[in-house]
Amino acid sequence: MNPAMSSWVALRRRTEFRPGRSILVLGATGNAGRMAVQIARHLGADGIVAAGRDPKRLVLLTDLGATDVVSLAGDPAQSADKLAEAAAHVDVVIDYTWGAPTERAIPALLSRRTDRSAPLDWIQIGSMAGPDITLPSSVLRAANLRIMGSGQGSVTAAGIIAELPSLMTELSKGTLTVAALPRPLAQVEDAWTAPTEPGQRVVLTVTA
């Protein structure tokens, strides 16, 4: 629920994500990012650009709905360039990284945008690559960039709770898939460090 909720709530409460819109998921190789790709597809996204570092996890995202994948591994300037080429015209960014990748991505994307007055909703959700960015003021003047966050506080508790039943329905229907690897809580010490297949998520279970 938690990784899925992050983009479900953002796309339904922080922006108006209609079918036909396009999206970039920064940090798509993570647990929340994998769900964001699937949720964007479920909500009718036309284009879904998935960006992340882990090559084995990155290739799995096409089957989940990504229409383009971009590697954030390697030279940062080259990655930002590739990202801009693939995602310059998206309507929404779901950002799990922040920090250096975001700091490079924002100016790179906006400078490639043909219609800079077209709104770009940049929704900050996680900060895996760092808590801060530096943003030149000229970027904000030269494009219709709307930076916002999504989480408790930017969405009311009542608003988040109201989203849970519909998300649970989709999870139960199998619309959103998780490659869960159940391990008993009693084996947590081994499970914590045991290697997993790319995309697998260890889920600790407790039996009464």
Ligand X SMILES: NC(=O)c1ccc[n+]([C@@H]2O[C@H](COP(=O)([O-])OP(=O)(O)OC[C@H]3O[C@@H](n4cnc5c(N)ncnc54)[C@H](OP(=O)(O)O)[C@@H]3O)[C@@H](O)[C@H]2O)c1
| Positions in the binding site for ligand X (CB under 6 A) | 2-3, 6, 27, 29-33, 52-54, 57, 72, 96-97, 101, 125-129, 150-151
Partners of 158 in the beta sheet?
Answer: none
Shortest spacing between CB 75 and ligand X, in angstroms: 13
Identity of the residue, 3 or 107, whose beta carbon is nearer to ligand X in the bound complex: 3
Identity of the residue, 186 or 194, whose beta carbon is nearer to ligand X in the bound complex: 194
Shortest spacing between CB 61 and ligand X, in angstroms: 10
Identity of the residue, 136 or 198, whose beta carbon is nearer to ligand X in the bound complex: 198
Identity of the residue, 36 or 90, whose beta carbon is nearer to ligand X in the bound complex: 36
Shortest spacing between CB 208 and ligand X, in angstroms: 27
Shortest spacing between CB 141 and ligand X, in angstroms: 27
